[in-house]
Amino acid sequence: MVAARTRALLLASLLGATGAAAEERASPFRGELGLRYWYSTGIHKHSHSAQDRFPDLGNPTSVLTYENLDAHAAEIHGRQIFRNHWFLKGVLGAGRIITGSFDDEDYFAGQQKFSDTTSSVPAGWLSHFAIDVGRYQWILGERATAVGAFVGFGQWTEYVDAYGATYTVDTEGDGAPISRGVKVISNKAIWRALRLGVSADIGLTARTRITADLAFIPYATVRNEDSHYLRTDIEDLGPAPNIVITGRGRGVQLEAELRHEIAQRVELSLGWRYWYLKALEAERTLPNFPAFDSLPVVELYSKRFGATVTLTRRW
């Protein structure tokens, strides 16, 4: 009788352990914390129209493009899963823009270009953060594949300085090249965004998985500050920043990583990230002359994309 009870208890214990192990395999990881490097390139473009006020000018009247803005950035990222598969995740990053160019185009009516200058962007910086809360809705298979939805908030800021100017179009004939040692303009763009998205963790093998976050931005605000340093006279644009654009819009923020466990609960990942935010409504104002009517913005958007390398510790 004692032997039979002992065998029954042992069997129950083994079955319980096996069930717990199966449940553990079928459950998503509980948390992670890691470091990420992001190499990216970006573009920031905005234009406005003064045609209603000055019919001889084009629509758009002036187009400012900051492009080929290559950057290095470092990030801290983390995720924690709570009871009933709720999760909290976030990222905090900053980096340096190492190169780029600035193009300033101006048009008469009929989009006849009368001025086009190119400047160098030798340096700048960027910063960003996001925090999301969500819940895994589907958890499938022994490889702990999990898919869920989240809502969150994020901010993305970029700042660049442009130096010198070379004319490629000068129909007025009164433009002279500006030395590369002269800072001609700075631009600072701040986006604040509501994030609605899907988060996926897809097991491929026991040690390899794919993670992805796909965020739609249904609502974002933007503040864009241009500082024209050669036009700070009070009879011109006044002290910098002397042109400000504010508006609201939407966009997308997508990223995916292929992760492989290189040591117990330590993963090395390669990934790709793409961000795009665009203003749908915006106005251009002169903060030093608030009595002046604002001008409509024709286009304003920011784009950044590139590869990521991540080291993550899971628990």
65-69-74-80 Cα dihedral, nearest 10 degrees: 40
Q: In CATH, what number is assigned to the domain containing residue 293?
A: 2.40.128.90
DSSP code at position 294: P
pLDDT score of 292: 83
pLDDT score of 29: 62
Contact present, 146 and 88 (Cβ < 8 Å): no
- Rg (alpha carbons) of the chain, rounded to whole number: 26
Q: Cα–chain-centroid distance for residue 204? A: 28
66-126-238-289 Cα dihedral, nearest 10 degrees: 90
pLDDT score of 208: 95
Print pLDDT tens along the chain (315 aa): 444 554 444 434 434 443 333 334 434 468 999 999 999 999 999 999 999 999 999 999 999 999 999 999 999 999 999 988 999 999 999 999 999 999 999 999 999 999 999 999 999 999 999 999 999 988 776 546 899 999 999 999 999 999 999 998 987 766 788 999 999 999 999 999 999 999 999 999 989 999 999 999 999 999 999 999 999 999 999 999 999 999 999 999 999 999 999 999 999 999 999 999 999 999 999 999 988 878 999 999 999 999 999 999 999
Domains of the chain: total? 1
pLDDT score of 20: 38
Structural domain including 249 reads 2-314
CA-CA distances (angstroms) from residue 24 to 17, 19, 27?
Answer: 10, 9, 5
pLDDT score of 2: 42
